[in-house]
Amino acid sequence: MYLHGGGDSRFSRHPDDSVAASLGVRLLAVDRSGAGVRRRTLRAWAEEMVALLDVERFAVVGWSAGGPHALAVAAVAPERVTRAAIVGAMPMWDGVRVLPADVRQAVRVARFAPRYVARRLERWGRLPVPATGAPETDEAYARGRVESFREGGLWLAYELAYLGRPWGFTPADVRAHVSLWWGEDDTVCPPSIAHDYARLLPNATLHVVAGTHQVLFPRWRDILADVARAV
């Protein structure tokens, strides 16, 4: 199960699906963009997803805002999640102080004024996406951003609100092995978040990649191979 970032969609992944196929991976890219659900919690989202997923055992990958969602799935379904990877992920709900000021403010304001935040997010969504290192993945990233805001930004405002509240579980509830993948130069979700997760999760391995802010696209094969390993 692949869980995209905030302001992204199911298309915000490596566009060459033969990478997953060559590893024997059946990739389920799950969308959260679209109609927003008010007063949803992170745990409730994970419980809904696990109830719908007709797969007995699976691994999960979460990028950026998808990282907490991946941890939530692993926490609520420990008997089903084999491994997890979180990539350049947002911090724990009480750690938003390490995020850039504009993101931090959006998380805080979204709790009581989501429609105001949604309009700001929609303006942000029209900006060019950061470079990934290759034209084909730049195109996929941009396409995922457009799809994300096709129905507006309210979904993301609601999501930021529940990511900034208690999650309904703790890292100690995540039994699966978690691989942490971070770019050393990530300024949106800085590597200090990775070190916090490495300390809090019972079973984690940290990979900090030097010289880049972006690890999802260039390390796509490595990330999928890692979570697809036999338990």
- What pLDDT was estimated at residue 220? 97
Residue 211 burial class via C-beta count within 10 angstroms: exposed 0-12, middle 13-18, buried 19 and up: exposed
- Cα–Cα–Cα angle for 7, 44, 111, rounded to 5 degrees: 55
- State the average pLDDT over residues 133-158: 96
Distance between CA atoms of residues 46 and 71, nearest Å: 9
Q: What's the DSSP call for residue 137? A: H
Per-residue pLDDT reduced to its tens digit, 87-100: 999 999 999 999 99
Are 138 and 13 within 8 A, CB to CB? no
> For residues 162 and 114, what is the distance between their CA atoms, to the nearest angstrom?
11
Percent of the chain scoring above 70 in pLDDT: 99
Flag whether pLDDT at 34 surpasses 90.
no
CB-based burial label for 24 (10 Å; 0-12, 13-18, 19+): exposed
Structure tokens at 111: 């709790």
15-25 tens-digit pLDDT: 999 999 999 99
Closest by CA to 145, choosing from 130, 135, 161, is: 130
Mean predicted lDDT score pLDDT of the chain: 96
pTM of the full predicted structure? 0.96
β-bridge partners, 3 = 30, 62
Locate the DSSP E strands across the chain: 2-3, 29-30, 58-63, 81-87, 177-183, 204-209
In 3-state terms the chain splits into helix, strand, coil percentages (rounded to 5) of 45, 15, 45
Q: Are 18 and 70 in contact (CB under 8 A)?
A: no
End-to-end CA distance of the chain: 17
Using one digit for the tens of pLDDT, what is the confidence trace for 179-195? 999 999 999 999 999 99
Q: CA-to-CA distance for 80 and 231, rounded, in angstroms?
A: 12
- Distances, alpha carbon 119 to alpha carbons 7, 113, 149, 171, in Å: 13, 11, 11, 33
